[in-house]
Amino acid sequence: MQNAWRKLIKSLHQKKYRYEEKMFFVEGAKSVAEALQSDFEIAALFGTEKFFQEYNSAFSNSNFYTETVKRADLEQVGTFQTNEYALAVLKMPEKQVLLQPDQWFLALADIADPGNLGTIIRLADWYGIQQIICSSQTTDWYSPKTLNASMGSFLRVKPYYTDLQDFIPKTGLKTYGAVLGGTNLHEIRKFEKKGILLMGNEAKGIPALLLPLLHSQISIPAFGQAESLNVAIATAICLDHLRQKMT
Amino acid sequence: MQNAWRKLIKSLHQKKYRYEEKMFFVEGAKSVAEALQSDFEIAALFGTEKFFQEYNSAFSNSNFYTETVKRADLEQVGTFQTNEYALAVLKMPEKQVLLQPDQWFLALADIADPGNLGTIIRLADWYGIQQIICSSQTTDWYSPKTLNASMGSFLRVKPYYTDLQDFIPKTGLKTYGAVLGGTNLHEIRKFEKKGILLMGNEAKGIPALLLPLLHSQISIPAFGQAESLNVAIATAICLDHLRQKMT
């Protein structure tokens, strides 16, 4: 692997350099192949011979740097230990675009764990949520751990990092927040066609400053003794109810 | 930390030694304190001075080995890197006890990831499932990663490892399996008060040999483009519907 790229990719493990370079990287043959067919701009593509044989059709008209490398090269610069044979360097979108507020948004207040964020991106994609509004303190969308956990869904779901306290009231959307001790989600009969579902930090929940902005505080009923649910699990259950009861 | 215990705990990271010694360990002040008040038999307790000050009441009549150690000792023998200050060595239950089949069981066919198993144990506890039937190939219940992910719920939910192909028909319980392309879970109107919910392996789903044993194949409807959901997420959504629609 060319040394300049090797150094660049290694630097992109760190958030600071991702934003300096305005680039990030995607690993894994399937995600890389999907990225090549997405609207993301590609800076460089690295794959093993096997990758280029299998996925030849995906990049026949490439106008970016391409290099055939050994699997050991990919293991050295990426985060995967084994069994993957492609890596693409992508350019970050120039600016954040906010979608029309005629739909449901997911909003995240200070989600800290990259794996949780990635899982939530995948969930949003499953339930047809097109944009996730992230508080400025939410963990970085473009970290390798987040992107890996999203299983390619980051190619379809768009982030919008902003100050939620400022953002939520401006949308005029009805905002539901998942809390402990709120209205039983099972007893909510219907949801409108648009709104915001707000999920809070893994340990601290929704920040106190945001609670007054909620139109409704909702909770997943417990039937046993566990004290809490993981935030990605809770997001899944809320989104499932949303979609089922949307009229 | 006494050297014999140090060696023992380090060996318990491996499944082989857990079953040879019939012991496993639990980390973290909260889980350890809960373990001390559970029906599990304790072999040894290690905590920092801080732990023994804070949780004094939990083990006033202890008849097991107890040692005050440094945090660095715990970090060296356990899996946590930081911020934890207790570890208990527990004895494995002598034998598996199967609960009465007048309730819902969760059954897992070859779940491979310890984090997923732990998250599913926590979920079962939230939704009041008291026992999880695990195929023999399912990852080990007593591994540190599984126990940590369960957040103490392994103290309440009981495992039963067995051959599912043999087990399921014997129960006489109606068995639902989560698959791709089955009956839409949102359209199922009610569930009985007892049954089995079967979830399959992360990559391969439910093994083909078990499919003929299902009374109903169910699926979580997708509204977007993600190809699949993580197995713990899917389990959560299925259990939520079960509890909501049980009559």
Question: Mean pLDDT across the stretch A44-61?
Answer: 83
- Which residues in chain A are closer than 8 Å to B228, comparing Cβ atoms? 151
Nearest to B224 among A119, A127, A227 (CB): A127
Query: Residue B76 and residue A212: Cα distance in Å, rounded?
Result: 45
Within 10 A of A60 (CB to CB), how many other CB atoms are there? 6
Angle in degrees, CA A52, A55, A56, rounded to 5: 65
Burial A118-155, CB ≥16 within 10 A → b, else e: bbbbbbbbbbbbbbbbbbeebbbbbbbbbbbbbbbbbb
Distance between A209 CA and the closest CA of chain B, angstroms: 28
Q: Lowest-pLDDT range, A52-61, A75-84, A115-124, B37-46?
A: A52-61
Contact (CB<8Å) B151/A220: no
| pLDDT score recorded for residue B82 | 57
Residue A159 pLDDT > 60:
yes
> Under CATH, to which class is B3-91 assigned?
alpha beta
pLDDT value for A172:
95
Instruction: Pick the closest to residue A130 from B225, B221, B186 (CA basis).
Output: B225
Q: What are the E-state strand segments in B74-123?
A: 86-91, 104-108
Give residue-wise pLDDT tens across range A164-223.
999 999 999 999 999 999 999 999 999 999 999 999 999 999 999 999 999 999 999 999
Question: What is the C-alpha to C-alpha distance for residues B231 and B238, in angstroms, rounded to an integer?
Answer: 10
**pLDDT tens-digit series, residues A13-29:** 999 999 999 999 999 99
Could you tell me if B157 and B131 are in contact, meaning their C-beta atoms sit under 8 angstroms apart?
yes
Query: Minimal Cα distance from B188: which residue of A?
Result: A244
Q: Which residues of B152-167 are buried (b: 16+ CB within 10 A; e: fewer)?
A: bbbbbbbbbbbebeeb
Of A69-83, A161-175, B72-86, highest mean pLDDT: A161-175
Take residue B47 and report the two structure tokens written for it. 């905590």
Q: Work out whether the CA dihedral B234, B236, B240, B246 comes out positive or negative.
A: positive
pLDDT in tens, A79-123: 876 567 899 999 999 999 999 999 999 999 999 999 999 999 999
Q: How far apart are CA B198 and CA B218, in angstroms?
A: 10
Among residues B31, B63, B68, the alpha carbon closest in space to that of B47 is found at: B68
pLDDT value of residue A244: 96
Each domain of chain B, given as residue ranges in start order, spans 3-91, 104-245
Give the chain B residue whose CA is nearest to the CA of A243: B223
Contacts (Cβ under 8 Å, ≥6 apart) of A210 = A109, A164, A165, A168, A177, A198, A200
Minimal Cβ distance to A122: which of B186, B226, B236:
B226
State the pTM of this model: 0.94
Contact B122 A229 (CB under 8 A): yes
Mean per-residue pLDDT over chain B, rounded: 94
Residues of chain A positioned with their CB less than 8 A from the CB of B227: 151
Was domain B104-245 assigned CATH 3.20.20.70? Answer: no
Contact (Cβ atoms closer than 8 angstroms) between residue B40 and residue B147: no
Residue A186 is predicted with a pLDDT of 97
Spatial separation of the C-alpha atoms in residues A64 and A42, rounded to whole Å: 7
CA–CA separation, A43 vs B8, rounded Å? 51
Optimal mutation site among B38, B156, B158, B240, interface A, most CBs of chain A within 10 A: B240
pLDDT bucket at B55, cuts 50 / 70 / 90: confident
Task: Find, in chain A, the residue whose alpha carbon is nearest to that of B124.
Answer: A224
B93: tokens are: 């239950």
Mean pLDDT computed over A48-56: 89
DSSP-assigned letter for residue A110:
-
Using left for φ > 0, alpha for ψ between -120 and 50, and beta otherwise, residue B62 falls in beta
Main-chain dihedrals φ then ψ at residue A154, nearest 5 degrees: -65, -15
**Secondary structure E strands in B75-222:** 86-91, 104-108, 131-135, 158-162, 175-184, 195-199, 216-219
Contact B60, B120 (CB under 8 A): no
